Structure 1
Amino acid sequence: MNKNSLVYISSGDVSVYESQVLELLRYYVRRKSIHVILVQGYSSSKEKTRLEKKISNYPELLSDMIWYRTYPAYLFFEPLHLFSIKKALSSIATIDQYTIHVRSEFCGYLVQKASSQIKLSNRIVVDIRGVVLEELYYKLASNKSKIRRFLIFRQIKYWKKFYDYFFSRKDSRLIISSVSSEINCYIKKKYPSCAYPLMVHPNIAGEQFIYNEGARNKIRETLGIPLDARVAICATGSNASWQKDEETIETLIKQGIYVINLSKHTVNIPRCITMVIPFTQMPSYLSAADIAVLWREENFINWSASPSKLSEFAAMGLWIIHNKHVANAVEYIRSTGAGILVDTIEEIQTDSYNNNRESRLISGQQHFSVQAIAESYISTYNK
């Protein structure tokens, strides 16, 4: 295989598609001169239109793109899925010269099966972004609709079957890359016969996540925040009861902190500014802040996750307040001192905040920058 040739297979549109897929691939093309073919799945014309709009901002990837059709994740649709993937892979000239990188374990299972059927010998790196089987159990327990519960139950049966198949295979072509060591521990515990090498690559912070003093001052002046004030970012996205947005914000404000609340849920408290901003403006607002709040519900899905916000907060040198429910965040804060770990909102104290942002910027970039993680992926491809 040519180490400078990569086929990247993504099965659909997700909220972090730009930050986690397109930013990585653009880095490969621009910085490492890797020839990338993006094989992109879509389930409907609407999803394809959304994807086309996002990809249009990455012209480097447009010249070598292959579309393929995806189908619902049920056993009935597997033959259609396999036919679609085999058609896409077979359309690539000199396919044997490429390393294949697949996003998600379900897509990885299908690609492994399809590539075996057309007798490919390519090295395959499968990214596991979360343990979807556990997410399905979670949805089943929390859903009250009989029809929806039936469909989820059917999916669970299928996913259990393909997990058993996928993780029991002896396929020397495969390497698994998980976003956290907790997912690899899960695989080892549930599937002790799994013979694949297990790597860890957390979510990336794109190249645009670079601290900017000018943007910091401009955002503060625009929002009417004093340049010498201490500012916290809260970016929860929803108003779930466990997030306790208002209590967190009140606690910070009582300690003299200004709060930028990036949420659709307005919190009417003095010195709290609520707004929704486009992703492109996020680096400027993170530059304007000093502190970030990462609050998560207690469950295995969160514990084993790699939130994009964590990567972005860390890469921007923010001092992170976290409630100990994401293993990656706990490990990062404990190893670097770039924040505090608390059990309850009442424990939040910003007295221990330090102004050494420069050291946090260095450690954040080392752990989560697209450069650091891309280089690690490339090393994995070449193993």
Structure 2
Amino acid sequence: MPSMKPTLPIGIGYALAAAALFGASTPLSKLLLGSVDPWLLAGLLYLGSGLGLSLWLLLATRLTGKGSTEASLKRADLPWLAGAILFGGVVGPVLLMLGLAATPAASASLLLNLEGVLTALLAWFVFQENFDRRIALGMAFITGGGVLLSWTGDTAAGVPWGALAVAGACLAWGIDNNLTRKVSGGNPVQIAAAKGVVAGGVNLGLALVAGSHLPAFPTVLAAGTVGLLGYGVSLTCFVLALRHLGTARTGAYFSLAPFVGALLSLAIFQDGLSIRFGFAAALMGVGVWLHLTERHDHEHTHEALEHDHSHVHDEHHRHDHGPDDPPGEPHSHPHKHEAMTHSHVHYPDTHHRHEH
């Protein structure tokens, strides 16, 4: 019987790319806050993401003359997507920008580790995603590395409103990540573009009504570029990782984002490497190794299911095609899975969300 192992590197690659892009956006956003109001910057970041990805969708179709191999979003997806946009695209960015404006960069990086923890906890205990001790331990090592990486030892921080705002952003994104998984079978660029356009437009409009003023065009362009890469492309990769790895495991790899942000900060501010940085990297490395070497293998039953997503004809896709179904692979079209019981290595991806 074919192994599911080839799926793992694909999902991990997407998750690590998402973490790298988002991690790089944090110190760059901190630099932009010197000339842009926090609420306005949140709008510019997401609007740059949404408009850039929308342009990509348009150009990709026109330049290639081919339709996307991804499934388009359906009406049933809209409530989940709307919730993800509200929490992850409106509430989260505003709280983060407000928190960054009142919190030292190192403290903000420390608090951003909460996103992976809260994402995993919600996935495990609210959305009932499977996990075992190895995965939980790996998550603990990755989080511990992030905490050590950002810890300054200074507890005299005063009234922690900025810290509370960053923690609130992490909770909003944890909810967003779990809601986004519900639509992860759809076109990831379409999902990220919709979130960017709606969330960016709302935040930008509210900021302007509240009295904010647009900065000079080069600053607007810089914010849009950071948003396109750090939010748009990052979210696209994150959705693809959700499809292959599930929410908690994707969140664990995404928790490496503060490490990437710290590396970029070292390059920007010319700070030297420290022993603490090395220990943090070692802890994160152990956590990633625990996840990479996971082997989840047991007999499980697939219930009959009908859905639409991008796929190839593998062990889980042995359906017949009608005359109107698209040729070539990968492709997307509505298809039905018959009930099936078998055993192989798997992860909580699109087809393995069974109970344990």
* Bigger fraction of residues in strand: 1
* Bigger fraction of residues in helix: 2
Does the alignment reach a TM-score above 0.5? no
**Greater RCO (CA < 8 Å, at least 6 residues apart):** 2
Q: TM-score with structure 2 length normalisation?
A: 0.24
Larger Rg: 1
Q: TM-score with structure 1 length normalisation?
A: 0.22
